Structure 1
């Protein structure tokens, strides 16, 4: 039940943003506030499959057979998934650095990916602690969901959103790397298929929420900047010289 509550919280948070978007008379750039409910379908299905599959008898059997097919008891590991999970995020900044500009400037895209990262981290941690699923290699009880896969798909969606107007192939390459990261998590016997599928959904949904909420966060910061005022003046108290500062909010 705890896992369903986490999923429900994410969806309700997204729908709340959508409701505010329709009322967004005070938001300056309404082009940024387009909300498409269809965008929830794929990540919600992925998360739902992972949550249902980890307890469903037939899906558990498929989970086990699929993982055995991927790993086939290979002893050799390929730990490059530690690096590939962040490759799409690094690519966004790298492309901007070489002059291929994306959708947002440095400040805005950093706020967006930080927001998505907080959502991924909080959701993954909550699910791991509430479910306590054993990893395929028996190394711990934090298998569900796959945090590496969630981070990889968070970055893939980030790369897609930033560069979809430049070329769709940036997004496709990001998702290909993310899928490869998920595959390696299973190959290295760190996660089951349902862990990886749920992680992918969490990553995609977290980035979408980050983009939908960004105009509100940005507007909030603008209001704070406008309401902030202050003054600096020298002072002398008979013994010491200095500067006094007065701030008002």
Structure 2
């Protein structure tokens, strides 16, 4: 502060005056550089604390699938508190020997139809169409590779006697699709995800009622399906199709006295 006043006074005095020469001869004080703390925060940005592992995205995405897969493994054959043999005995006693229906072969894809119908109705998903399609393709690839690799490695027989029971591919497919529906539409309403998971649970139950899978197979299948969808989202970076495609798709029922009933499908691409 003092040195600044001296410099200002020197500028105001005429050159060559005795007072200006005296001011010029006053020694300037310099502030020593801080060399003690120069490496402690060089950017000036406060360093953030590292989050514990249980709050990481990977842990939260894998904890539920890990519980399902782990519990399924613990009930293989006659093992566990309530084993797959115990569950099969009770199901056969309640519904009789299967198979009973093939509706589960088609029901596993119903969550996808739910997602498509909601999007056609004009509800916006979390991702645009391009990124949503890429997430679905990546989820399918992860699920198919993991499920059928484990099938080939375990080779556990089904209740009907056929091979490759563990884990259930139908259940994995249904729960993977339900997870995608929940992730894409949970900001709009939680009921979309609840309906999709209810359908997936029905697929798991029917696989046991039809004697296609054990309890351990459907539990692990649900875990593999959910984990596949979560890994696809965690590894996706939204680098493609940043502009929305097909956001303005709408479907409206119409009626006229001369033409009867119908459906009007409109699309205004941006």
TM-score under structure 1 length normalisation? 0.69
1:116 lines up with 2:139 in the alignment: yes
Alpha-carbon contact 1:135-1:142 (below 8 Å) kept? yes
Alpha-carbon separation, structure 1, partners of 2:142 and 2:232 = 8
- Count of residues in correspondence between the two structures: 185
* Shift of residue 75, structure 1, vs aligned partner: 4.4
- The Cα offsets for residues 69-109 of structure 1, whole Å up to 9 and x where unpaired, read as 22333346121101111111221122111212211111111
> Could you tell me which of 129, 153, 165 is aligned with 2:152?
129
1:82 equivalent in structure 2: 105
- Give the number of the structure whose alpha-carbon radius of gyration is greater: 2
1:10 equivalent in structure 2: none
- Give the 4+ runs in structure 1 shifted more than 3 A: none
Alpha-carbon contact 1:71-1:186 (below 8 Å) kept? no
1:41 equivalent in structure 2: 63
Alpha-carbon contact 2:76-2:83 (below 8 Å) kept? no
State the secondary structure of the residue aligned to 1:180: helix
- Which structure 2 residues correspond to residues 47-58 of structure 1 after superposition, within 5 A? 47-54=69-76, 57-58=78-79
Structure 1: gaps of 5 or more residues: 1-33, 223-249
2:43 equivalent in structure 1: none
> Could you tell me which of 106, 119, 127 is aligned with 2:129?
106
Alpha-carbon separation, structure 2, partners of 1:67 and 1:102 = 39
2:212 equivalent in structure 1: 190
State the secondary structure of the residue aligned to 1:59: coil
Alpha-carbon contact 1:78-1:188 (below 8 Å) kept? yes
TM-score under structure 2 length normalisation? 0.64
> Could you tell me which of 195, 200, 203 is aligned with 2:222?
200
Moved more, 93-102 or 156-165: 93-102
